Structure 1
Amino acid sequence: MTLARKGSRLITVEDTDYRWTVRAKPTYSQGLGATMTFAVELAERPGATLVVDTGRPRPDNWLHLATEPVRPAEVTEAVRAALARGFDFTATQASP
């Protein structure tokens, strides 16, 4: 499944365009302070989706826990780290 264009942002890392997004509304557990995640995929040829756990709560958590939003520099760093570890954004899920 690909990321929706609405609400997602484009970012270029090493001459490749990616689309990334943070879920629009928190899940119930995220509302209670569970960690925030964001998803990244290739912009033009979506394949595998990288899901990154930030290790901190969402800014809109219901308990008003201190946190910071996801910034483009953090997304760039996550993509570079995933590529260095061999993550293949072009991979597709095999059907059962």
Structure 2
Amino acid sequence: MALPRKGARRIVVDGLTHRRRLRHRPTYAQALGWTPGTAAVEHADTPGSTLVVTTAPPHPGNHLGLPAAPIRPAEVAGAVRRALREGWIPVKPGSAFRLDALDDVPPTG
């Protein structure tokens, strides 16, 4: 499933252009702190499989005031690099490739 263009931002990782999207409003479970935030990434020109990255901190819009941190582009780039090493093929159609915890992805770039 392709990401909607509205709200998606461009990110270039190792010469390849991707689009990333962070959910602006938390889901019900994210708002209550039950589940962490997520980010979605796909290849910009030939979208295929979507990378779904689960973040360690809660969604910044949670209703309980839990400490949250924004997901920086360098962290997303690190997650893309890690997913590519682990076998994600962004231009090949298929189910979503899931990657857990941005906190263990070193911000490189």
Fold equivalence (TM over 0.5): yes
- Give 1:85's aligned residue: 86
For residues 82 and 67 of structure 2, what CA distance do their matches in structure 1 show?
26
Q: 1:41-95 deviations in whole A, cap 9, x for unaligned? A: 000110000000012101110001011011100100000000111211111138x
| Distance apart, 1:24 and its partner CA | 2.3
Count of residue correspondences: 94
The two structures, once aligned, show a CA RMSD in angstroms of 1.2
- Give 2:38's aligned residue: 37
1:14 aligns with 2:33: no
- Give 2:50's aligned residue: 49
Q: Structure 1: which 4+ aligned runs deviate by more than 2 Å?
A: none
| Distance apart, 1:40 and its partner CA | 0.3
Amino acid at match of 2:48: G
Change (3 A) 1:75 1:88: same
Task: Please list every run of 5 or more consecutive structure 2 residues that lacks an aligned counterpart in the other structure.
Answer: 96-109
Task: Please list every run of 5 or more consecutive structure 1 residues that lacks an aligned counterpart in the other structure.
Answer: none
Larger Rg: 1
User: Structure 1 length normalisation: TM-score?
Assistant: 0.93
User: Structure 2 length normalisation: TM-score?
Assistant: 0.82
